[in-house]
Structure 1
Amino acid sequence: MAEDSVRSGRDGEKIANEILKLVGWGSASWNMDIDCSFPSRHKPTVKNNPHHGIDILYSYDNPLYHDRRDIIIGSVKHSENGYPSSKSYELTQHLTDLAENLDCAKQSDNILQLVGNSGLQTHYKGLLFCLSSLDTEKEYDLAQHINNDIDFGTNKFEEIFLVDNKRATFLVSSIKTAESYWPLSEIKFLYQNTGKNMEKSQLLLSGKKLPIQLINSEIIPIVKEEKETGKISCLIFCNNPYSKENVSRLIWLSHKLCGLTNEIRIYLPNYDNNKEYEINAVKQLFKDESFTTKITFHRFSKFDIVSLKETQNNTFYAQPKQDKQVELTHSTQISDDIDKILPFGDFLIPKLRTSILSEVNLQDFLTRKGIVTLKKSKNDILPLFSCLLLSPDELDSLKATYREKEDKPKEIERTATVNLGSKTLWETFNELFPDLKSITKSGLPKNCALVGAPMLERVGKNYNHLVVKYKIEKENTNKDFLTGKTFHDAQMEIRYENNQLTFIDQHTSSETYKLNKNYFDNFQKALKKNNLSVEEFKSIQFLDFANNERIQFLLSFLKIQDSKAIVIKKITLDSMKFRTDETLSKLPKDLESLKGRVSNLNLHGKELHDTIYLSEDEYRIAILCEKVRFNVIYKYINRDGICSIEVSFNGALGLKGYKDTELRISITPAPNSFDNNFTSTKALITKEINKIRDDNYTQYKQKQNINDTI
């Protein structure tokens, strides 16, 4: 067994070494030890021998950042007989071990002596090869087993990039295919404009080194120059299947990346030349025919990475020559419609800044891509995205998350005391404010329109229960994450009983929220104008609570697990959004470092259950909590299902300070839920959640009143 393990490890290093040669990292150092700088916290790993073994050490000036040098600390794991059955557990161990290596590498004098001092900003990145030689796992996606809740303790690192069989096979296949085209011409990787590498004197459009940010990418752009003629070809490899939509996006990408190169060859894993007629039809949608006629599509062959361990050679790597700084220009006649493009760099970042996509959404996306980061705030995460090339499938996954969150129904409930005399609610509308029976587009932006002519109606035969349901059509612009037309549902429900008027606002997009709010404001004015208001509308507000009491109130919704109406099998606190309260004169020491941070923090999974922010009073009074989300596994009647319950004061935490906003509640089914009648289940859960809300808010107000009288 020991010999098998040694042989497997040696074979893994052979494969990884050949891959590093292919990406221009052939001079990487192998198998070195560094002292452990933190033996007390790394004790379980280093035991009685306080050092770390590093498989790979490599450094280079990053061509995607004009002032940065990346130092790569790598680890190689290889299995002859396939990935282990406990994939998530083993992968977690490998990631935490590499995190410890990165933590100590930054303190190592040995590493600094080896890589030297370039005068550039130094950034340490982790590279984890997890490879399998099993034939049935040639393109296995191990990244899907990365646990979102890995506890890295106090170890600090920026990112770890995973190269598994799927990513290694695509990377090697792309480079080997490129090598076979014009075999006498050398491989150069094309560097996209990130917005961070724009200094003219340092701009390298292409070079022999592939930056780590692209090492597990699903898009690999390569440049080759024919020596005799000087003809420049750009080869773009994409690991997504063929489709007309993907063709359109890749044509746009090649336009932005390659400019006026002589030839553009786009490679897909399953392209069939019989689809050429579809390709030509897509090309006709672009105005610049002189550009599109240079583009051809091809299939790339899959290379067996296991064979790399048989091709070892002692290649001499001479000092690379200075790369030519060729200015590539392009036509401006191709549009930037988000549904037809693959945005990157300065094209992508403004779209990701939308408040709809949270830090957690971006972290989850990176994890699925095989990139693990400890960065929490959006401002810290976005610079990494500026250096990525997203494939069509990856962009679609972000758009799906965006669309799902934007379409998620949010509910606000407001109550008031009114005196309608002997009239019903329906009669009051008919007699005193008939204009409010119809919904107008007043308050909608110019790019939105109402679908149809929505009218206020009675619920059944109840003259004191009214509802209006409507839909808007939104014409998205190129600045939005989605383009073209999208549709968004909303409704408003008004109930009157025992002089209590309840107004329930249910919206999806920000536009439907604004329209509902505009209608509510007009309705409230009409009540006052006709002297029907006894007490004004009230809703639960962010500033109703002190900091610690707000957290207590938000966490009180966990009590749904005690419901008698539905069986709650499991409920977990999935995420929490908060920031430090900088108005306080004294903060806990570890919160002081968060002062002045523009972005809010998101914690999720295991981090939440272990965090002192929830358990200790000195922290609860020092943070402003805007949102919590729970994941619920339930059984109702004979139906099993999964849903999320989000309780938030949406928008309370602005860029500077905070503002008063109303409580919103959203209940949505999970994608993997088996409940085939969620509408019925949601109605019950909503009823239970509203009861918890009302009971706890009433208790809080009663307690507050008692304290005020003491």
Structure 2
Amino acid sequence: MSGENSKKSGEIGEKLASALLEKIGWQHQIHNISISCNNSSHINASGNQKKSHGDDIVYIYNNPFHDETTVVVHISVKNKSKGYPKTATAISKEFKEHIEELKELIQCAKYNPEINSFLNAFGAKVNVKHIGVLVWLHNDKDSLDRNILPTIAKSRLNLDGDTPYYVIDSGRASFLLKVINDLSNKSNGNYQFYYPKIGTYILVDSDRKGKFLPIELISSDIITAVVDVDGKNKFYLYSREGFDELTCKNMIAYALNFSAGLVNEIYVGFPDYNPTQDDIIVKQVNFSFKERSEKIQVFSYNESILNLFQG
């Protein structure tokens, strides 16, 4: 019975992860590739070399932050039916196991003929970079926003090589979904994510906008986008951090810097901004940017009746 529950939980996790990734623009996902094991150090529970690794989801994209770079994302999906482990020690233990499994998979996937055939069909750039993403979700509706990233950040991992690993936990997944839903409501789907100049992309004619979120923005606590309303662009910045005077000032500064004078209207979203109580703080912060001509408005992307106060 426990095996059936585990299988069902895994199926739920893959469905949730796939739907979330589609929401952030990761279309054309490749599902459930069996990767032959070619490393004698990969040992199974019986002490023998593993025969294969299961690549749950693979996604390929050209990196908008770095010239001539194609990214191969190997996504391992884990799902807990009753919530994350209660203690930090248990969370860290499971996390290490999941990352070790993902590390071994990527070590073999780099040489997999099927992965290489997908890269050829995609038209990969000169530089190909493999990365690992652990999507670790759970199904306890009372703690869906739980953030375990501070806990797992303290874990000491034994990782060799230069492969980077990223984690999407339930809390970050919730943040991403709230941002996408808010953007969709404000634009009728007519929006693009904005890619700040944070990498090494030097081509003058490179487009700073796109329909998908690269991993650098997925793992960030700031997401930026451009919304087209009747042919007029508006710049949106979403902060995962809670609202206070200093954070508000910093986020407005980031938005002005990122938008680089390309728009006249800037909107900065927080999860907990209360327009009936916090508007005086925003007015005070705006004095720091009184020389700028852009219209700046702060809002909450957590929908409630308080949003009606802003009209």
- TM-score normalised to structure 1 length: 0.40
1:174 paired residue number: 179
Which of these residues, 119, 122, 142, is aligned with residue 125 of structure 2?
119
1:537-563 residue CA offsets vs partner (Å, 9 max, x unmatched): xxxxxxxxxxxxxxxxxxxxxxxxxxx
Instruction: State the Cα distance separating 1:279 from its structure 2 match.
Output: 0.8
Equivalent-residue separation in structure 1 for 2:157 and 2:178 (angstroms): 32
**Partner of residue 56, structure 1:** 57
1:125–1:157 contact (8 Å) kept in structure 2: no
How many Å apart are 1:195 and its aligned residue? 4.7
Q: State the Cα deviation string for residues 676-706 of structure 1 (Å, max 9, x = none).
A: xxxxxxxxxxxxxxxxxxxxxxxxxxxxxxx
TM-superposed CA distance for 1:287, in Å, is 3.7
The answer on 1:198 being equivalent to 2:202 is yes
Matching of residues 625-704 of structure 1 within 5 Å: none
The amino acid of 2:213's aligned partner reads L
Choose which of 186, 209, 214 in structure 2 pairs with 1:211.
214
Q: TM-score, normalised by structure 2?
A: 0.89
Aligned to 2:289: 286
Deviations 1:285-340 (A, max 9, x none): 2242412xx111111127xxxxxxxxxxxxxxxxxxxxxxxxxxxxxxxxxxxxxx
Query: Any conservation in 2 of the 1:103–1:157 contact (CA below 8 Å)?
Result: no
Distance 1:56 1:222 in 2: 26
List alignment gaps of at least 5 residues for structure 1. Answer: 303-710
Q: Which runs of 4+ in 1 moved over 3 A?
A: 45-49
- Distance in 2 between residues matched to 1:120 and 1:63, nearest whole Å: 14
Cα separation, 2, equivalents of 1:262 and 1:32: 47
CA–CA distance in 2 between the matches of 1:195 and 1:114? 26
Contact 2:96 2:155 in 1 (8 A): no
Distance 2:292 2:236 in 1: 19
Letter in 2 for 1:148: S
Aligned to 1:223: 226
Q: Which runs of 5+ in 2 are unaligned?
A: 304-311
Q: CA deviation at 1:193?
A: 0.7
Amino acid at match of 1:119: K
- 8 Å Cα contact 1:170-1:239 kept in structure 2: yes
Aligned to 2:42: 42
Residues 16-38 of structure 1, C-alpha deviations (whole Å, 9 max, x = no match): 01111111112111111011121
The residue correspondences of 1:430-579 to structure 2 (distance < 5 A) are none
Map of 1:11 onto structure 2: 12
Q: Is the 8 A contact 2:81 2:140 kept in 1?
A: yes
1:67 aligns with 2:74: no
* 2:41 alignment partner AA: R
Indicate yes or no: 2:155 matched with 1:148. Answer: yes
CA contact (8 A) 2:226 2:233 kept: yes
- Rounded to whole Å, the distance in 1 between the matches of 2:157 and 2:166 is 15
Superposed displacement of residue 49, structure 1 = 4.8
Contact 2:272-2:302 within 8 A present in 1 as well: no
Deviations 1:191-224 (A, max 9, x none): 00125112113x1210011111111211011111
How far the C-alpha of 1:238 sits from its partner, in A, is 0.2
Could you tell me whether the CA contact under 8 Å between 2:78 and 2:135 is conserved in 1? yes
2:112 matched to which residue of 1? 108
Shift of 1:281: 1.5
1:128 equivalent in structure 2 = 134
Tell me how far apart the structure 1 counterparts of residues 112 and 161 of structure 2 sit (CA, whole Å): 14
* Secondary structure of 2:53 counterpart: strand
The amino acid that maps onto 1:5 is S
> Partner of 1:298: helix, strand, or coil?
strand
SS in 2 for 1:181: helix
SS in 1 for 2:20: helix
Contact 1:124/1:157 (8 A) holds in 2: no
Match for residue 306 of structure 2? none
Higher relative contact order, structure no. (Cα contacts within 8 Å, ≥ 6 residues apart): 2
Task: Find the aligned partners of 1:48 and 1:149 in 2 and give their Cα distance.
Answer: 25
Provide the rounded CA distance (Å) in 1 between the counterparts of 2:157 and 2:287: 49
CA shift, 1:138, in A, is 1.2
Opposite residue 84 of structure 2, the aligned amino acid is Y
Corresponding residue SS for 1:150:
coil
2:101 & 2:151 partners in 1: Cα distance?
17
Paired residues of 1:58 and 1:71 also in contact (CA < 8 A) = yes
The alignment's C-alpha RMSD in Å is 1.9
Offset of residue 74 of structure 1:
0.6
Are the counterparts in 2 of residues 167 and 217 from structure 1 also a CA contact under 8 Å? no
| Residues 647-704 of structure 1 deviation map (CA, whole Å, 9 limit, x = unaligned) | xxxxxxxxxxxxxxxxxxxxxxxxxxxxxxxxxxxxxxxxxxxxxxxxxxxxxxxxxx
SS in 2 for 1:151: coil
What secondary structure does 2:288 align onto? coil
CA distance in 1, matches of 2:215, 2:164: 10
Aligned 8 A contact 1:99 1:157 in 2 = no
Counterparts of 2:124 and 2:242 in 1: how far apart (Å)? Answer: 42
Match of 1:268 in 2: 270
**2:308 corresponds to:** none
CA deviation after TM superposition for structure 1 residue 157, in Å:
4.4
Q: How does 1:234-633 map to 2 (within 5 A)?
A: 234-258=235-259, 259-274=261-276, 275-291=278-294, 294-301=295-302
Report the AA paired with residue 114 of structure 2: N
Indicate the structure (1 or 2) with the bigger Cα radius of gyration: 1
Distance 2:126 2:191 in 1: 26
Deviation at residue 159 of structure 1 after TM alignment:
0.8
**1:233 aligned onto 2:234:** yes
Q: 1:204 to 1:289 in 2, by over 3 A?
A: closer
* Superposition deviation, residue 67 in structure 1: 1.8
Aligned to 2:309: none
The number of residues matched between the two structures is: 294
- Distance of 1:225 and 1:25 partners within structure 2: 21
Secondary structure of the structure 2 residue equivalent to 1:88: helix
Q: Does 1:83 align with 2:89?
A: no
Q: Aligned equivalents of 2:131 and 2:194: distance in 1? A: 21
- Give % identity: 27
| Structure 2 CA distance for partners of 1:289 and 1:140, relative to 1, 3 Å | same
Distance 1:30 1:157 in 2: 25
Counterparts in 2 of 1:3 and 1:263: CA distance versus 1, 3 Å: same
Secondary structure, in 3 states, of the residue corresponding to 1:296?
A: strand
**Aligned residues of 1:171 and 1:216 also touching (Cα < 8 A):** no
